[in-house]
Amino acid sequence: MTARQLTQAILAKRSFLCVGLDTDLRKTPECLRDAEDPQFSFNKAIIDATAPYTVCYKPNLAFYEENGARGWESFERTCRYIRENHPDIFIIADAKRGDIGNTSGMYARAFFEQGSVDAVTLSPYMGRDTVEPFLRYAGKWAVILALTSNPSADDFETLPLADGWMLYETVLETASGWGTVDNTMFVVGATKSEMLSSVRRIVPDHFLLVPGVGAQGGSLEEVARHGMNAGCGLLVNSSRAIIYADGTASFAATAGTKAREVQQEMDALLERFL
Amino acid sequence: MTARQLTQAILAKRSFLCVGLDTDLRKTPECLRDAEDPQFSFNKAIIDATAPYTVCYKPNLAFYEENGARGWESFERTCRYIRENHPDIFIIADAKRGDIGNTSGMYARAFFEQGSVDAVTLSPYMGRDTVEPFLRYAGKWAVILALTSNPSADDFETLPLADGWMLYETVLETASGWGTVDNTMFVVGATKSEMLSSVRRIVPDHFLLVPGVGAQGGSLEEVARHGMNAGCGLLVNSSRAIIYADGTASFAATAGTKAREVQQEMDALLERFL
């Protein structure tokens, strides 16, 4: 998928919502506990209910790896289900991988050949070697951490460098030169929405994946105001506020309602800022 | 395992060798191709042959994830096999994970509860939140990336900061305050052995995991000269130079011979520098 195709999907659905599939077996409703594959069953119900309102799903690998090989199987089934039933929806494996060249190539194969996702989140710490193998796949994306939404993001990401920039700004500047706007995206947390303007000065044309709206407290309006570009350029993730809005047997219907509410807010913001 | 116990294991075997289980199905010998679980069969043979000469095994998750859920099963079987047959040998899951608090807690559970490893490699980019959940497990370790051995390590790791330090030095200084010498270790590449002296000024007492000896060209003697402390404080990894030394049916015997050669060199270096 190209950046232009992603923009077209956003305009068609009037939504730049990414639903995070952080599927925790401890939080899935009672009625699913005896299913043969409760993680997949939960995801399938959530996907069926939210697909009309979302352009992207983002399974978080930690929640699957916690269940070992069985969890990997649930992750793979989930991705196949999305691919087969909603081929227009972008899939990001939130894996935050990062390793040297030959190992990074293995991870790229794991997600793009063995798996069927469109994009993988990557940590930039080890530099270009980490990202390059992911850029060799036509139509696939590297989603690189820049400025995250967690409390300790300030430990290193915002450290001032000798040249006056902060580390995350140099990551944006340097890493944006490795690929193109059609295969590279950056993670910028919504809890730092005031910093989105400085991010946009460095990477005006790239898509940004924005977590931290909802449970983590970021404002969708502020994100749109400071972060939207001519092609929208935003995928805003919500996980818990949608998938765990309701812990009863009607969890999927409620998730659909919540996703629709976010989509309607996004429709208005696209009208206003695009 | 405490740092003191790790030192005792090193002195007992006269070895600070870590064998990297970067098991690539494309490189395993013909005779294993039809095995029910070729990755595990390869690892088992390598472990049986090298266990007398090594204090640590380090399976690299990328090589298992490339095979999806089946690969995760091979990884888990490998760890269980080491744990059951060589309970004194330290196991590092080379996963280079790094995520926010609740997700990082999931990864910690994946490796320390669902799995049975002693340590996990972590990327420091997102700060303390990433590492802390791993430090809550008694006897378990976080192995934090500091200065890596890949060509693009200079993209960010050695960037000069406003205070005159390089990024990796601040990572060492800051992250060494999160835990203790009994639960935190740092990755420092052997290809930068001249920088080990400056690393030792910042973290004199911590264990260092040193990749890059062998195939990547680092010198074991230089690593020992600049990096050894009073408790040895080094785990030096070798992967390809041991496990792929021989592509025939006698691969395991050759791996044992190679590991023994490294152990003998290490014995002499312990004699000289400890």
Both tokens assigned to A237: 């993730």
Report the share of chain B in percent with pLDDT over 90.
90
Over residues A160-202, the pLDDT tens digits come to: 999 999 999 999 999 999 999 999 999 999 877 778 999 999 9
A232: Cα separation from own chain's centroid: 15
Task: Identify from A64, A107, A152, A170 which residue to disrupt to test chain B contact, counting B C-beta atoms within 10 A and taking the largest count.
Answer: A152
**Residue A162 in contact with partner chain B when CB distance is under 8 A:** yes
Q: What is the spatial distance between Cα B91 and Cα B89, in angstroms, rounded to a whole number?
A: 7
**Which residues in chain B have their CB less than 8 angstroms from residue A59's CB?**
none
What's at A198, amino acid-wise?
S
* Helix or strand holding residue B91 (H, E): strand B90-97
Task: Identify from A73, A100, A104, A131 which residue to disrupt to test chain B contact, counting B C-beta atoms within 10 A and taking the largest count.
Answer: A100
**Residue A128 in contact with partner chain B when CB distance is under 8 A:** yes
**Contact residues for B149 (Cβ-Cβ < 8 A; gap 6+):** A100, B189, B190, B191, B192, B211, B212, B216, B218
What's at B115, amino acid-wise?
G
Average per-residue pLDDT in chain B?
Answer: 95
Report the share of chain A in percent with pLDDT over 90.
89
Flag whether pLDDT at B215 surpasses 90.
no
Over residues A80-103, the pLDDT tens digits come to: 999 999 999 999 999 999 998 889
pTM summary value: 0.96
Please name the residues between 57 and 116 in chain A that touch chain B, using a CB distance below 8 Å. Answer: 60, 62-63, 65-73, 76, 96-101, 103-104, 106-107, 109-110, 114-115
Q: Identify the CA nearest to B27 among candidates B245, B272, B269, B264.
A: B245
Pairing verdict, β A234-238 and B17-21: unpaired
B53 to chain A, closest Cα gap in Å = 25
Q: What is the spatial distance between Cα B210 and Cα B227, in angstroms, rounded to a whole number?
A: 9
In tens digits, chain A (274 residues) has pLDDT values of: 999 999 999 999 999 999 999 999 999 999 998 999 999 999 999 999 999 999 999 999 999 999 989 999 999 999 999 999 999 999 999 999 999 888 999 999 999 998 889 999 999 999 999 999 999 999 999 999 999 989 999 999 999 999 999 999 999 999 999 999 999 999 999 877 778 999 999 999 999 999 988 766 678 999 999 999 999 999 999 999 999 999 999 999 999 999 999 999 999 999 999 9
Point out the residues of A that are catalytic.
96
Which residue among A62, A98, A167 sits closest to B110, beta carbon to beta carbon?
A62
Mean per-residue pLDDT for B134-156?
96
Nearest residue of B to residue A101, measured between CA atoms = B150
A159:B171 CB<8 A: no
**Residue A215 in contact with partner chain B when CB distance is under 8 A:** no
A162:B167 CB<8 A: no
Nearest residue of B to residue A167, measured between CA atoms = B156
B124 to chain A, closest Cα gap in Å = 8
| Residue B217 confidence (pLDDT) | 67
Q: What is the spatial distance between Cα B256 and Cα B266, in angstroms, rounded to a whole number?
A: 15
B126:A109 CB<8 A: no
Over residues B83-122, the pLDDT tens digits come to: 999 999 999 999 999 998 889 999 999 999 988 899 999 9
B156:A174 CB<8 A: yes
| Residue A213 confidence (pLDDT) | 83
Mean per-residue pLDDT for B240-254?
96
Per the DSSP assignment, residues forming a β-bridge with B20 are: B58
**Which residues in chain A have their CB less than 8 angstroms from residue B145's CB?**
125-126
A122 to chain B, closest Cα gap in Å = 10
Over residues A199-215, the pLDDT tens digits come to: 999 999 999 999 988 76
Q: What is the spatial distance between Cα A178 and Cα A131, in angstroms, rounded to a whole number?
A: 8
Name the catalytic one among B13, B27, B96, B192.
Answer: B96
B159:A161 CB<8 A: yes
Which residue among B69, B125, B129 sits closest to A123, beta carbon to beta carbon?
B125
Total Cβ atoms within 10 A of residue A177: 9
Mean per-residue pLDDT for B138-160?
96
